[in-house]
Structure 1
Amino acid sequence: MVGSVKYLSALGIVLMLAACGGGDVNDITSSNGANGTGGSSTQLRPTVYTSEGRIFNSCSLSPACSGNPYAPFFAGANAAPANGATVSGIVRIEINGNEIANAELLPASGYMPRFGIFNITGDKTRAWLDLDTTSLPNGPFNVRASAFNVPAGQPGALEIVAMSARTWNINNPVPPSGMFSATLTSAPADGATISGVTRLELRGSGIANAELLPASGYAPTYGTFNVSADRTMAWLDFDSRSLPDGVKDLRISAYNVTQGQPGASEIVVMPARRWNIQNGGAQPSDAPFTATVTMAPPHGAIINGRIRLEVRGSGLQNVELLPASGYTPRLGVFEISFDRKFAWIEVETSILPAGVLNARISAFNVAAGQPGASEIIAMPARQWEVRH
């Protein structure tokens, strides 16, 4: 009887493997030396690999594998530049699937550095990333896109390599050293009615700071733009719900030095435009406000090069890297996802003073410069040693 049970169990495993494809199908590559290509193929070996604390599940994405308990989680890239493509500017990468809780653009092998975190739809069936290639050096860029069934930093993650390793050739124009120029490339027209979140964007060279300001004067600041590492692009996802409904006159100015630094030259890239803000009274404060740091160097760490900081929560309107106490100087302003649940920043430590740095990360439920802000210290003060 015992022998029969063992025989039936072994037979069941064989049948399950056969149903999942078996034989000559693609692997998922693990960074501890497992070979293969992995990726968006609809057939993957039902083998589990463990590497760097992650679990790789590669069950077939076909209906034949529906008996596998992980089958509800699947992912494949449906939009991305081809292997060997030359890319520049903003590149859209999309992943379709099911139960996608996190998706990342990663090196061809390994998990650091993360080149991008995808936005994910509420039903977890689609993820997308607008990769700003201007923040990367020109030349070959070898990456993969991986999807996970749990949020970043959570244990027990299953990974599917939705886009197997591809090499793209980044080719962005390099501005002459010291040149400062700025031109508006995206903003509502004068007299437009706006609501919710609106993308504002400008391009040029030598851009160190850009701000959304009143038609005249410099206070209050209605928004501080994110600036690409090569200073050729700046963008702001302006949440008009931070302002009351009605008519507002605003301008956009760009500067060749960071905020608060002397010797600034100003280019008014958008002379005053009148926008009619209509959100039906909806305010950002209507959403719950929570914030927790999910990625940052530990207390006492030595940092150099580029470091990534991440915050997750809800109702995020502004997130800043600040001194351990006080609010100036701002060491960095985070980019915030459209759903206000995720904020991130790539900090170039070369712009920070060498030596001991005491810093905190604070999140706010209103845009920078707006009254009535609530603050959550997502990362209490940590001490880092900056080395150039």
Structure 2
Amino acid sequence: MSRSLIRRLQAISIIGLLMLIAACGGGGGSGDSSAANSGSVTRLLPTIWTSEGRAVNSCVLSPGCSGNPYAPFFAAVSMAPANGATLSGVVRLEVQGNEMANIELLPANGYTPRLGVFNITGDRTFAWMDFDTTTVPNGPLNLRISAFNVPAGQPGANEIVAMPARTWTINNPPVPPAAFAATLTSAPADNAVVSGITRLEVYGSDIANAELLPASGYAPRFAVFNVSADKTIAWLDFDSRSLPDGITDLRISAFNVREGQPNATEIIAMPVRRWDLRNSTAPPPATPFVASVTIAPPHGAIVSGRTRLEVRGSGIRNVELLPATGYTPLLGTFNVSFDQTFAWLDLDTTTLPNGILEARISAFNVPAGQPGAVEIIAMPTRQWDLRH
């Protein structure tokens, strides 16, 4: 049998196989009809869609691929709720393909507002996103998923509509207003000797204002805390040199409204403590030791893959990711910049078991294992839901 005849027979076999797959798969809409239940998840065959919503073979998008199913750039949704589904809570979306550089959850038409950006594996063949439906209003939402072969903002992007527009009905129960709570997480102990700058921190919910006050009354007000945007953390780098040396009785009070607004509710996060302020007899530290978390998933977040954690401050010699209490097991050790102002950790969650992780981030002013360490809890305990 001649080589040319063998090649023709092979080509015929490949075409027959592709036709059989097409007949079984039923195109890009296959599988949707099986998702009868509200909010069901549909896994689709890897049909490729153009930006016009037209199903094509990956070769159409990749000239010269000669039938190669792993052509340079293609993408198709592999997990997403069916058209018409009712969604609530967090919903996993997944896209599979090749050479994917950016995947976005977008309106049916246009590119704004962008409702989410997918995580992408290092080999650029798999992307996922945990879509938090509580971030959008209840009601019908018409969305598509688009894949691009260059990172966001770069020119020359080719778009593949990995999931043509589907209408989902968002139906989340109303969220009750957060209960006002405040608990002290970092401050010198009662009767402690205090000098230089000391981190004071309060953790809770619906905190609008926190103040360092005298043992009784509201004047003089010694300091006002910073408050995070989500109203869960208030912190102050208290400079004891702003007060005269000697015995001082202080309390920390948190409020559910901003300073000067009416109807304030007060929580005494730190009942009166007596501190012995001593600054004139001790030279000021060459570099004050301060540390606070600047990047970390919020409390209750779903975390997967690699996650960046960052701490900034001064005098930082060691930073560790630790359990909620105690110092073992050590969950991660941060890299620390040469000038001791910045520490970072790319946490690989695949090294930890799935499920709820309770962890804190602690910074120290001496290297690991050395005596005399002062600890600052840069991130009070948060719960993360690890999924991988």
TM-score by length of 2: 0.41
Instruction: State which structure, 1 or 2, has the greater radius of gyration over its C-alpha atoms.
Output: 2
TM-score by length of 1: 0.41
